[in-house]
Chain A
Amino acid sequence: MIQPRVTLHLHNGSREYQPGDSLTGEYRLDVVNRWDIRAMEVSVLWYTEGKGDEDLQVHYFYRLSADDGDYINPFRPGRFNTKLPNSPLSYEGVIVKIRWCARVRLFLPHGKEAVDEAIFRVGRIPYARAVLP
């Protein structure tokens, strides 16, 4: 049996954006039966990575749920569009990193999920290096 999949694609091939830019993208569902999809969420968020515990903030969120009567068409690609905020900018630090990503998540029967995400960059902050005290 083919497992349902989802693929996410950002329209900006370079995946580099500036604050205030429009982030547009689309997602395609690869499912056999639309009744396989219980819900779908699209989100644009930033999260931290590094040595510290993860911080995360969702900038854009969109959910469709079959239980709520929403119609999820698996044969037609979905689109999303959001304006990126002023901050935070993507940052490649030493022990603190800030990453932006767009994520689409499919909720399937029996608690299963299918996820795809695309990491993109906001701003042009160069790598940070440790400096001796």
Chain B
Amino acid sequence: MDLVARRFRFLVKKRRNRQTGSPQVAALGQTVLFALLFVVGIVFLVAVLWYQFLPEWRVIRNYQRTTCVVRDARLGQDPNDVDRHRPEIQIEYEVDGHGYTIWTYDARFHSGRGYAPGSQRQRQILDKFVVGQEYPCWFDPKVPDRAILVHGFDWTTWVMLLLPVSFIVIGGSRVGYIGITWGKSTERKAVLVQRASQLELFEPETDYQDDSYPAVPEATDLTNSPGVRLKYRLPIERSPTWRMIISGMVFMVVTAVTALFLDIAIQTHVANNPDWLLTLFAGSWLIVSAAALSYFLRQIVINMRAGLTIVEIQSHPLYPGRQYDLFLSQTGRLQLHWIEMSLCCEEIATYRQGTNTRTARKRVFWQLLLRRENVEVRQNTPLEEQLSLSVSANAMHSFKAMHNEVHWQLVVRGKAEGMPAFKRQFPVHIYPLPCKKAAT
């Protein structure tokens, strides 16, 4: 969720060069994305219904059955495309004593559609009708000179329905889920307003002469999201939601391409002029689409089940030798085998290797702050833990230069039943003690 805020810049509030990722705005971004998916599905569904289902529905609902005699049969050519044809049968029938002789075939005939690639399939259809023989037909009582020889849905129509339905289900379910959780965020806003006045103020260090910290990252980048239980909510680093969003986009693109190839391939089969190479190609795309869907659904499940991990802290930046209250909340629907929170420090060194740039990382500190095992997290009952963090008096402060960095973070890891282990990282900044305090 935070990745939406970080990647779509117009959606986020910015502090200097840092995007902070407001969860509410990120949720809006997510909603927009899945709403788009939903809308695409709706549009596609409407198209299928209009062009495939509606004509047949009118026939089923309004037309009356009678008997006709076939007088002639021919292969009709699409005036816009010489390679597309349709069967055209001339029939003779009577309605209320009046005789009618018309060219017709199916429900799409009279709207100028029903053409398909090739002609072999159409000729086979024509061969089924013997000139001079009687056949049932259906006419429109309001427009008696409009009649058809065949009606009903075939399997291709049902296949074409599957695609938009899948879009609607995926997009709609996620929009619905966000809507449900959005309601909670709104309540949380009210709590924030109520509690803001009750939060302890951070006691600023006023007894040192110079309050600048060269080569130490700005603490304000991490403190512009107020917490609910404690003063600040820490932003997440490298949100797992990006994987879900990317996989969703990939699935949409792959499915669109698959649908295109599949439609063309099916048409060739319907026209009794099967293109097997194209069918094979479309089939391979179908497999890719199925795999993309599977991965995408898996990411949705992981994100929906794992839910949000929230870390709040009493005060920021941190200083060596001090203790801080932390709050951890894990939402979702999980049967956790274990969950743990730790404080880590990594050295990060960037170096040029010939014409490439590479980065080396080395962990130099790790402290377990919390571990719980066999915990059940329910939809409306998140796991919540209050804990304490003591920063060692000897801790090296955060450091950031162009090629080298000392990076501190709180790491939440967990493993739940039926899903891979998850890991969420929350950067923190440790500042050196102010001059006067350091000297004592």
Contacts and interface: CB of A to CB of B under 8 A. Distances in A.
A and B touching (C-beta < 8 Å)?
yes
B340 to A, nearest CB: 14
Given A18-B439, A20-B439, A96-B347, A129 B404 contact: no
B348 interface: yes
Contacts of A18: 435, 438-439
Contacts of A133: 363
A87 B213 contact: yes
Nearest to A20: B435
B369 to A, nearest CB: 15
Interface in B197-254: 208-216
Contacts, number: 124
B380 interface: no
B439 A52 contact: no
B397 interface: yes
Given A50-B349, A94-B362, A94-B364, A126 B394 contact: yes
Contacts of B431: 87
How many of chain A's residues touch chain B, expressed as a range?
Answer: 35 or more
How many of chain B's residues touch chain A, expressed as a range?
Answer: 35 or more
A88 interface: yes
Nearest to A86: B213
Given A54-B403, A55-B404, A98-B399, A86 B210 contact: yes
Contacts of B403: 48, 52-55
Nearest to A129: B364
A21 interface: yes
B350 A53 contact: yes
Given A57-B214, A126-B394, A96 B405 contact: yes
B432 interface: yes
A87 B214 contact: yes
A81 B22 CA distance: 47
Given A52-B404, A130-B363, A88 B399 contact: yes
Interface string A40-84: 000000101011111101010000000000000000000000000
Contacts of A95: 347, 349, 360, 362
A98 B398 CA distance: 12
A73 B398 CA distance: 43
A18 B432 CA distance: 11
B364 A88 contact: no
A119 interface: no
A52 B360 contact: yes
A32 B405 CA distance: 45
Given A57-B215, A87-B215, A52 B351 contact: yes
B397 A87 contact: yes
A72 B420 CA distance: 70
B413 to A, nearest CB: 11
A52 B349 CA distance: 4
B364 A131 contact: yes
B352 interface: yes
Instruction: Identify which of B210, B351, B360, B432 gathers the most chain A CB atoms within 10 Å of its CB.
Output: B432
A57 B396 CA distance: 19
B16 interface: no
A132 B348 CA distance: 15
A109 interface: no
B397 A128 contact: no
B397 A130 contact: no
Instruction: Identify which of B209, B214, B348 gathers the most chain A CB atoms within 10 Å of its CB.
Output: B214
B265 interface: no
A19 B320 CA distance: 14
A88 B347 contact: no
Interface in B329-369: 347-352, 360, 362-366
B292 interface: no
Contacts of A87: 213-216, 397, 399, 431-432
B435 A51 contact: no
28 contacts: A18-B439, A19-B433, A19-B434, A48-B404, A50-B349, A52-B404, A53-B402, A55-B401, A55-B404, A57-B401, A85-B214, A86-B210, A86-B211, A86-B214, A86-B434, A87-B397, A87-B399, A89-B432, A93-B362, A94-B347, A98-B399, A123-B432, A123-B438, A124-B394, A128-B364, A130-B362, A130-B363, A131-B364
Given A87-B213, A91-B399, A126-B394, 19 more contacts: A18-B435, A18-B438, A19-B434, A20-B435, A20-B438, A52-B349, A52-B404, A53-B350, A53-B351, A54-B403, A59-B214, A85-B214, A86-B208, A86-B211, A86-B435, A87-B432, A89-B397, A125-B394, A130-B363
**For the complex of A and B, 10 pairs with smallest distance between CB atoms:** A20-B435, A52-B349, A55-B401, A128-B364, A53-B403, A96-B347, A51-B349, A52-B403, A52-B404, A88-B215
